[in-house]
Every structure is written in structure tokens, then in C-alpha cells.
């Protein structure tokens, strides 16, 4: 929790209007005011303001400004409101204005807990959702591959991760509302002069939400008609292979999940709804799997999805793309493929699958180079499960395939 022993300078920097907005969003009510001088707020459940109300000073030049602000912070973070303060107010009050994304997944574990691997998958899915939506801001596409990846990562670098809430497991992401994201990578400091310095981060966040909304509409269309045409139509609104596979990690093995977005109202600019919520169920998983394959396969007939065993790994440098081999466990061709991943998290997931004898699902554009098959623009979609669950006989790990490169030969 944010330390309340703020210096006088910190208190002078606090925006009283922003504090008012955050408290109102959290349930406090304005019960009195004098324009430019103060707002009087009553705590949740005390609409008449008889108990626990306090005054937020609006005039920084007033001699009692710091003293009154200290009093406000003490009352707003009192033990009875401590959880609400730490969860919903302090993270946004002591940072730049942010729009809040909440990724929730029902968990069979006790309140506020989740199995470790499921928690990792949820965090990975949250990241992929933000990245897929950011890519759609640049230009809608069925399958982005590596396109617009640097821009999406610059947006992601501006996002903060927040703590979970009690109850079902929730991952929070705080995306800046009023800052800018450079269109191109630069080694020079960017002077924030509005849109001239790049793209307003809220515009990118709104692209994430548009893509989410279009994906949900496509899922509902499939439930009603049994047709995947809704995903094709939704591409112009942000539906993509990447978004479909991102949401897979939220729906899979879930009794219920949702993504909620709360827009920061202290930032100028209109949003249709202050809170947007998109719900999913475990039954959406097969729909999203079919849609992901369709979105990628329609772009390139060589698009392939392989479930198999990781049988070699190589990486020349810490920040270079990781390469690994997958032995196909589905009984079809090709028997072995090489995969090159630029995504750190996905490469680490491949390492885990190798160490723990887990099967993985990888997808990408299949190309043949000599005697080797490669998956390009590849994604590690998910860890499927223990190898023992697959009955297809597999070759020994020491088998030599003609033309197969050694680890030292990998580029």
C-alpha cells in the first residue's frame, strides 16, 4: 500500500479534482461543495454526510491545504476502507491517470488464490490481449505475426500491473490515459507535446476494447448460427488470430471469466461507458480455437498447428530469438518442425514444457528449407498437458534425422 507519510511537496502535487473523481468512483458521494474552494464527500452508505464526511480542499493557495489533504488521506485510508483504498484508489492517485483493465478467472482454489500455472497463463493472456489490441490500432489484420510488434511492446512498457482482488483471481493492468506512445523506437528522450510525439495511449486502449467487443460479438454470432463468419466480419474492428488465442488463456479450464475496463474520468474526452465488461465461459474455448485457425489459415494456406514434444532448444544470446524443435504427436506430417520465437515469455514456456515433459501447441506458417520444416510467424498457443496423455508412439530423443541441424548450427 502507498505510504501515507507523504511529504508536504507530495501533497502539493496531488490533484484534488482527481482525488474527488477516484473517491466517487469507489463509492463516496459528494454531499456539498463550493466551486473552486472545496468538495465535501460522505463515505459509502452515508448519503446524508452525518458521519465520516470530509472536505477536499480545491485551492492549493489556501494556507490549510496541506493539513486538510493529510486529514482526507487518513480518513479515506482508515481501516474500514483500507482494502478499497489500496486496491482502487492509491494505485491511480499516486501515478499518472490510468485506465484500468481487470482480467478475472474463476478459480477452484480458496478466495483470491489460483493454481500457479493457471495464474501464469492468465497473466500471459492479459499481456497478449493488450498486445493484440495495440497491433489492431496500427491496422486491422487477420494474422499479424511479427507485424507492429515493436509498437505494441512500447504501449505495453507504459502499462503497470496491479494487485489482485479477493475472490476469483484477478490480474489488473493500469494503462496510462493521457501519455503518448512513440510511433517509432528512438534513443532520444521524447518531449511529450501531445499527438505530435506519438499516439495517445488511451486511443490504443480503446482499440483493445474495440477488438475485445468485436471478438465477443463474433462468439455470440457463432453460438446462434454455428458460423465463423462473425470473426471474418470482425477483422475490421480488431478481431485477429492473436486476440483469439489471447482470450483462449482466459477461457480454457475456467468456470467463468471476464475482462472489465474502467475508464479514468479525470481525463478529458468522452467514453461511451465508464465501465465496460466482457464475459466468457469455458464453452468459448473450442469456438476460439476454430476461429484462430480460420483467421490464420485464410491468410496463408501453409498455416499449420502442431501439438508435440519439445526436443531441442537453442538461443545464442539472451535477447535473440529462441529456437526449438517440436516432435509431432498427432501422427501426421511433418514429423518434426523447427520453431523460431521472438517472444521471451513463449520461449520460456517452451523451456518449461521441455523440463516437465509437457506437450505444446504451436502454430505458424509452414515452410520447408532443405530437409527441415520451419514454422515462421509462430506462436506457442498453449501448453496442452503431460506427454503421457498422448498415445501416439514417439521417437527416441536421440534419433538422428537426415539434415537436422545441431544446436551449434542454429542461426
pTM of the complete model: 0.63
Q: Which residue has the higher pLDDT, 53 or 370?
A: 53
Cβ–Cβ under 8 Å, residues 82 and 2: no
The pLDDT, as a whole number, for residue 50 is 64
Q: Which of 186, 181, 184 is nearest to 205 (CA)?
A: 181
**Mean pLDDT value across the chain:** 81
Q: Is the pLDDT of residue 272 over 50?
A: yes
Domain with CATH 2.40.50 in the chain: 303-409
Range 303-409: architecture per CATH: Beta Barrel (2.40)
Burial 355-382 (b: 16+ CB within 10 A, else e): eeebbbbbbbbbeeeeebbbbebbbbbb
CA-CA distance, 323 to 321, in Å (whole number)? 7
Q: Given this model, what pLDDT does residue 298 score?
A: 57
**Residue 407, C-alpha cell as written in the block:** 544446436
Q: What is the largest CA-CA distance in the chain?
A: 83
Alpha-carbon distance of 331 to 46, in angstroms, equals 66
Residues composing the chain: 411
Q: How far apart are CA 338 and CA 332, in angstroms?
A: 16
Residue-level pLDDT at 11: 63
Alpha-carbon gap, residue 402 to 266, rounded angstroms: 64
Amino acid at each position: 500500500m502507498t505510504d501515507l507519510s507523504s511529504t508536504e511537496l507530495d501533497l502539493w502535487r496531488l490533484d484534488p479534482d482527481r482525488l474527488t473523481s477516484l473517491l466517487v468512483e469507489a463509492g463516496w458521494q459528494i454531499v456539498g461543495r463550493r466551486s473552486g474552494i472545496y468538495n465535501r464527500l460522505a463515505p459509502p452508505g452515508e448519503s446524508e454526510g452525518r458521519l465520516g464526511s470530509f472536505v477536499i480542499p480545491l485551492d492549493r493557495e489556501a494556507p490549510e491545504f496541506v493539513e486538510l489533504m493529510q486529514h482526507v488521506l487518513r480518513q479515506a485510508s482508515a481501516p474500514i476502507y483500507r482494502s478499497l483504498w489500496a486496491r482502487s484508489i492509491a494505485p491511480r492517485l499516486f501515478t499518472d491517470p490510468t485506465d484500468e483493465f481487470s482480467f478475472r478467472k474463476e478459480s477452484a482454489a480458496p478466495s483470491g488464490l489460483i493454481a500457479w500455472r493457471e495464474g501464469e497463463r492468465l497473466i500471459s493472456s492479459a499481456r497478449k490481449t493488450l498486445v493484440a489490441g495495440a497491433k489492431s490500432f496500427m491496422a486491422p489484420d487477420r494474422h499479424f505475426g511479427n507485424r507492429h510488434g515493436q509498437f505494441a511492446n512500447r504501449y505495453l512498457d507504459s502499462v503497470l500491473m496491479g494487485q489482485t482482488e479477493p475472490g476469483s483471481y484477478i490480474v489488473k493492468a493500469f494503462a496510462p490515459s493521457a501519455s503518448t506512445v512513440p510511433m517509432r523506437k528512438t534513443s532520444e528522450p521524447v518531449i511529450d507535446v501531445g499527438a505530435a510525439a506519438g499516439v495517445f495511449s488511451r486511443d490504443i486502449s480503446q482499440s483493445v476494447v474495440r477488438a475485445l467487443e468485436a471478438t465477443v460479438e463474433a462468439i455470440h454470432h457463432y453460438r446462434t448460427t454455428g458460423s465463423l463468419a462473425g470473426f471474418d466480419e470482425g477483422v475490421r474492428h480488431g478481431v485477429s488470430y492473436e486476440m483469439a488465442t489471447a482470450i483462449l488463456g482466459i477461457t480454457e479450464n475456467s468456470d467463468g471469466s471476464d475482462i472489465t475496463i474502467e475508464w479514468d474520468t479525470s481525463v478529458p474526452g468522452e467514453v461511451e461507458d465508464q465501465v465496460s465488461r466482457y464475459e466468457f465461459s469455458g464453452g468459448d474455448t473450442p469456438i476460439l480455437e476454430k476461429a484462430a485457425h480460420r483467421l490464420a489459415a485464410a491468410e496463408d494456406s501453409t498455416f499449420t498447428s502442431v501439438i508435440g514434444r519439445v526436443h531441442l532448444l537453442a538461443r545464442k544470446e539472451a535477447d535473440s530469438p529462441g529456437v526449438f524443435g517440436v516432435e509431432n504427436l498427432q501422427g501426421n506430417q511433418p514429423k518434426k518442425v523447427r520453431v523460431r520465437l521472438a517472444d521471451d515469455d513463449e520461449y520460456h514456456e517452451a523451456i518449461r514444457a521441455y523440463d516437465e515433459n509437457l506437450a505444446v501447441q504451436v502454430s505458424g506458417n509452414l515452410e520447408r528449407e532443405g530437409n527441415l520444416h520451419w514454422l515462421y510467424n509462430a506462436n506457442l498457443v498453449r501448453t496442452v498437458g503431460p506427454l503421457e496423455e498422448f498415445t501416439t508412439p514417439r521417437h527416441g530423443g536421440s534419433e538422428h534425422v537426415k539434415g537436422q541441424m545441431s544446436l551449434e548450427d542454429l542461426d
